[in-house]
Every structure is written in C-alpha cells, then in structure tokens.
Amino acid sequence: MPIGDRLREERDRLGLSQPNFAALAGTTKQTLFSWETGKTAPDGFQLAAFAAAGVDVLYVITGERGGSHLAHDAAEQVLLDSYRRCKPEARQNLIQTAALLSAGLPPATAPSGSMVMSNLGDGNVQVGSGAQVSVKRSK
C-alpha cells in the first residue's frame, strides 16, 4: 500500500477532515491531497508535526505499526502527552483516577471534599468506603 493511502488511513483513524489534518503539518488541503494521491510526499518536518499529533508515522512510512503506545484519537494523544510530562507521583494519581472513572465508580469524598484513596501496593486501589479497583501496570 502506498504512503498516501496509509496517510489517509491515519487521518481517518484520528477522525480529522483533510483541512484539519493538513493544518497539523502547517500545510493546505491541496498539498495533503497531493500526498494522499501519491504525487508528492510530506517532508521530515511535516511528519514530525504529524507524529506530535498522534499519527503513527512509522506506519505511514513503512506500513508497520509502531506499537500499542499510539493514541486512537487526538483526545487520547493529549492524555498520553500529559501523562508523559508528569512526575512519578502525579502519574500514579492519573492512573488511579483513570481506573476509577473506567470502573464507573462515583468518587468518594471526605468531609473536607478531598478524594479518599489508598494504594494497597498490590495493583489495587482502595477508594472511599472500601471499594477496590485493580490497576494493571505496564512493563
């Protein structure tokens, strides 16, 4: 499959229109159309801009996916980028919060209005009145 087709796949995966996708690389819809039809190709600076927005540039260039660390959409990429900028303690807080939200548990609050949460050290988090949420850690 040509580079242009893979670039179009990535645009579709991120749910972006041609003008919005082109803007990520600082170019126009016409230039993007030229890339997607195989007449020309993006340069390294444009590919780097796409990568920063969550495009799997390795896939675009080689046809092989870069791995499970890639975002499925722009919002997920923002979350990943924020996580990567956090200090270790803040990362743990993000992991715990995500586990609670994905489990559908209502947040338990102390009288002061702060979240009551205990890390049990075994991959589980105890919340409020004793609810536990398992947190899988990546290797």
Percent of the chain with pLDDT over 70: 70
SS3 content of the chain, % helix, strand, coil (to 5): 50, 10, 40
Where is 23: in which H helix or E strand?
helix 18-24
Domains of the chain from N-terminus onward: 3-62 (1.10.260.40), 86-134 (no CATH)
End-to-end CA distance of the chain: 33
Supply the pTM of this predicted model: 0.50
7 burial type by CB count under 10 A (0-12 exposed, 13-18 middle, 19+ buried): buried
Three-state secondary structure string covering 70-116 = CCCCHHHHHHHHHHHHCCHHHHHHHHHHHHHHHHCCCCCECCCCCEC
- pLDDT number for residue 115: 42
Give the model confidence (pLDDT) of 12-68 as tens digits.
988 899 999 999 999 999 999 999 999 999 999 999 999 988 888 999 999 887 655
